[in-house]
Amino acid sequence: MRIILLGPPGAGKGTQADMLSKKLFLPHISTGDMLRAVMGSGMELGQKAKAYMDKGQLVPDNIILDIIRDRIGRPDCREGYLLDGFPRTLPQAEALDAMLAANDNAIDVVLNIQVPLELLLERLTGRRGCLQCGTIYHQLYSPTKTEGLCDACGGSLYQRTDDCEASVQKRLEVYEVQTAPLIAYYEKRKTLQFINGNQPAHAVMLELGQVLGLDWEKD
């Protein structure tokens, strides 16, 4: 099954993709995570991507498409995957369709996680992650017991550089202009499903299960 998780930054795509990946045994492919990994590696490509990411801008389509082409061509993607944060522009969506069509494949479902835009600024600027184990917290909604330290492993918490207010404002603008048009694109292809992302993560997951025709209540 090939699934796209669509939605604005801060909608919870990463959290839901992580949970879905475990339930469906499909790889979770996050272009944001892949770019951050390249940035950490010190490669030139990472430096190039960082300049866009820190400002809240999109990394150019050609860079992203090279990364995706390589990733979805790997053996663990044969049975499908979950795309999180890709596609983000119409040219990316069209290129993905062309890549898949060349192998007689297609996207099965696009899950559009909806959250009112006015809630996203608070969600994103309060987000903190553990440097060691990656667990995500929120200063207001899910604070750690000891400030600045991860409950799970004691690691230090950090804030993504693009979660500062100026970058978040830019990312939300970029979403409206460049990514939101994908909703109409996938609606036309009859692959789109709407999910209410303005509820606790577990409730979002149950809704995703219903939409996918899977009964997770009993799990």
Asked about 2 being catalytic, the answer comes back as no
Instruction: Spot the catalytic one: 2, 50, 123, 127.
Output: 127
CB of 49 to ligand AMP, least distance (A): 7
Instruction: Spot the catalytic one: 23, 55, 71, 160.
Output: 160
CB of 93 to ligand AMP, least distance (A): 10
Rounded CA separation 89/82 (Å)? 17
Rounded CA separation 53/47 (Å)? 10
- Nearer of residues 95 and 212 to ligand AMP, judged by Cβ: 95
Asked about 127 being catalytic, the answer comes back as yes
CB of 169 to ligand AMP, least distance (A): 12
Asked about 189 being catalytic, the answer comes back as no
Enumerate helices (H) and strands (E) in the chain, giving the number of each. Answer: 9, 8
- Nearer of residues 23 and 48 to ligand AMP, judged by Cβ: 48
- Nearer of residues 162 and 207 to ligand AMP, judged by Cβ: 162
CB of 210 to ligand AMP, least distance (A): 25
- Nearer of residues 2 and 88 to ligand AMP, judged by Cβ: 88
**What residue ranges bind ligand AMP (CB under 6 A)?**
9, 31-32, 35, 52-53, 56-59, 64, 85-88, 92, 162, 171
Q: Which residue is nearest to ligand AMP (CB)?
A: 32
Asked about 13 being catalytic, the answer comes back as yes
Instruction: Spot the catalytic one: 13, 50, 123, 128.
Output: 13
Under 8 Å between Cβ of 3 and 109: yes
Q: Which long-range contacts (CB under 8 A, 24 or more apart) does 30-33 make?
A: 30/84, 30/85, 30/86, 31/64, 31/67, 31/68, 31/84, 31/85, 31/86, 31/88, 32/84, 32/85
Instruction: Please name the helix (run of DSSP H) or strand (run of DSSP E) that holds residue 193, with its range, or none.
Output: strand 192-196
Gyration radius (Cα) of the chain, Å:
17
Asked about 88 being catalytic, the answer comes back as yes
Instruction: State the catalytic residues.
Output: 13, 88, 127, 160, 171
